[in-house]
């Protein structure tokens, strides 16, 4: 957990929603200068902040609608801090909670150097990262359709499909595989959606690979040197990591990627593992996929994994492999060197 500790003359806490916000501005002595509700309008917010723009810092909790406030602060030269939603217990743990109180608490935490902050992703790369996340959303929906077709086939105890539904070019045969007209209608709707998802995902991937990859060509090919990591996983890792310098140690990086869990200790005893869901879920997915794909057609990697599996079991062995790949990615990008398989499996 990191706290924003820089000192300023004015501190602004904003409790932000989709259509409205509550702003609270404190001076360096803690006196309340502004405390009011505003619509989510750039001009009105700027008019409120303008009298205190000298040495002003603005803080917003990390929710889905913070982009426009961050961009406004960046344009106007205000310092901007993105509060870490999971760590802001002073806001969520009170007996009474409302927008007015929340905005004051954000400003007070900011002034006292106790506001836990999250990484403020730069504007010029934000849309591409969101496009990668949207592609993953569509890919998962496509997977649900494929699972429904397979489950329906099992439900009626029919023979296995001649080809995998996701790979075959003749999806009409999938519909005819089922005898009942109503079931055929259900499968036909799945097949129609599959065709649409295939086209949308293909168009997204072509755009990402041919238009975006050029900005990170060196890092892109460094990550591609890892067995099993393809074009989309490489782009996902690059855009979710962005700036490696924000992780002073490799431990910070693998913790952010959800590859390790935290612990609660007291009196020298570990009470429980916790914090498994704190961090970047997209990096967790990417490294989990990379661990599974790393083993495909990789005899050296399979032998290494067999040793891990014998000692820890399959599930934990995959987690260990994912965490080790996370460490490898960190040092590859830090040192600007490609992946070395023999060195990876040596220990």
Domain final residue, candidates 162, 187, 219: 219
Distance (Å, whole) CA 57 – CA 165? 54
Collapse the DSSP code of 255 into the 3-class scheme (helix H, G, I; strand E, B; otherwise coil) and give the result.
helix
Written as tens digits, the pLDDT of the chain (347 aa) is 789 999 999 999 999 999 999 999 999 999 999 999 999 999 999 999 999 988 999 999 888 889 999 999 999 999 999 998 888 877 777 778 899 999 999 999 999 999 999 998 888 889 999 999 999 999 999 999 999 999 999 999 999 988 888 887 778 889 999 999 999 999 999 999 999 999 999 999 999 988 776 677 788 889 999 999 999 999 999 999 999 999 999 999 999 999 988 777 877 787 767 677 788 999 999 999 999 999 999 999 999 999 999 999 999 999 999 999 999 999 999 999 999 999 999 86
Contact 126, 67 (CB under 8 A): yes
- 187 and 165, same domain (yes or no): yes
- 330 and 259, same domain (yes or no): yes
Domain final residue, candidates 185, 219, 253: 219
Model pLDDT, residue 110 = 94
Q: What does pTM read for this prediction?
A: 0.87
For residue 18, what is the DSSP state? Answer: S
Q: Which helix (H) or strand (E) holds 251?
A: helix 250-256
Model pLDDT, residue 262 = 79
Query: What separation in angstroms does the CA of 20 have from each of 23, 37, 39, 75?
Result: 10, 7, 4, 21
Model pLDDT, residue 217 = 77
Model pLDDT, residue 40 = 94
- 66 and 80, same domain (yes or no): yes
The total number of residues shown for the chain amounts to 347
Question: For the chain, where are the E strands, in sequence order?
Answer: 3-4, 10-16, 20-27, 32-39, 56-61, 79-83, 115-118, 262-266, 269-274
> Which runs of consecutive H residues, i.e. helices, occur in 156-209?
172-176, 181-207
Model pLDDT, residue 266 = 77
Beta-strand relationship, 262-266 and 269-274: antiparallel
Distance (Å, whole) CA 8 – CA 327? 37
- 108 and 29, same domain (yes or no): yes
Beta-strand relationship, 10-16 and 56-61: parallel
Question: At a CB cut-off of 8 Å and minimum separation 6, what does 337 contact?
Answer: 222, 331
Distance (Å, whole) CA 254 – CA 329? 10
Contact 338, 329 (CB under 8 A): no
**Domains held by the chain: number:** 3
Contact 197, 113 (CB under 8 A): no
Distance (Å, whole) CA 275 – CA 281? 12
Domain final residue, candidates 120, 154, 176: 120
Domain extent, residue 135, equals 125-219
CATH of the domain at 43: 3.30.420.10
For residue 96, what is the DSSP state? Answer: S
């Amino acid at each position: 957990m990191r706290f924003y500790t820089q000192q300023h003359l004015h501190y602004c806490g904003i409790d932000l929603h989709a259509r409205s916000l509550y702003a609270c501005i404190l001076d360096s002595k803690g006196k309340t200068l502004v405390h009011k509700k505003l619509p989510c309008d750039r001009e009105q917010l700027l008019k409120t902040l303008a009298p205190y723009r000298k040495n002003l810092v603005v803080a917003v909790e990390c929710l889905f609608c913070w982009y426009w406030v961050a961009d406004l602060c960046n344009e106007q030269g205000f310092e901007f801090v993105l509060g870490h939603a999971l760590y802001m217990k002073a806001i969520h743990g009170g007996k009474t909670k409302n927008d007015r109180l929340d905005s004051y608490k954000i400003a007070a935490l900011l002034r006292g150097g106790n506001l836990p902050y999250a990484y403020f992703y730069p504007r010029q790369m934000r849309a591409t990262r969101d496009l990668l996340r949207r592609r993953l959303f569509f890919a998962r929906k496509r997977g649900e359709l494929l699972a429904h077709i397979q489950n329906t086939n099992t439900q009626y105890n029919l023979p296995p499909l001649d080809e995998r539904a996701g790979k075959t070019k003749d999806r009409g045969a999938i519909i005819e595989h089922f005898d009942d007209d109503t079931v055929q209608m259900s499968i036909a709707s799945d097949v129609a959606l599959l065709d649409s998802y295939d086209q949308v995902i293909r168009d997204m991937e072509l755009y990402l690979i041919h238009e975006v990859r050029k900005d990170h060509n060196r890092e892109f090919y460094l990550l591609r040197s890892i067995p099993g990591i393809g074009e989309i996983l490489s782009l996902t890792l690059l855009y979710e990591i962005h700036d490696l310098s924000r992780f002073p140690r490799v431990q910070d990086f693998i913790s952010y990627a959800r590859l390790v869990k935290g612990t609660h200790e007291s009196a020298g005893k570990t009470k429980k593992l916790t914090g498994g869901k704190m961090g970047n879920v997209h990096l967790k997915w990417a490294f989990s996929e990379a661990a599974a794909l790393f083993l495909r057609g990789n005899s050296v990697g399979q032998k290494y994994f067999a040793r891990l599996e014998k000692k820890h079991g399959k599930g934990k062995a995959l987690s260990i492999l994912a965490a080790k790949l996370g460490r490898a990615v960190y040092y590859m990008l830090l040192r600007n060197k490609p992946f070395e398989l023999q060195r990876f499996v040596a220990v």
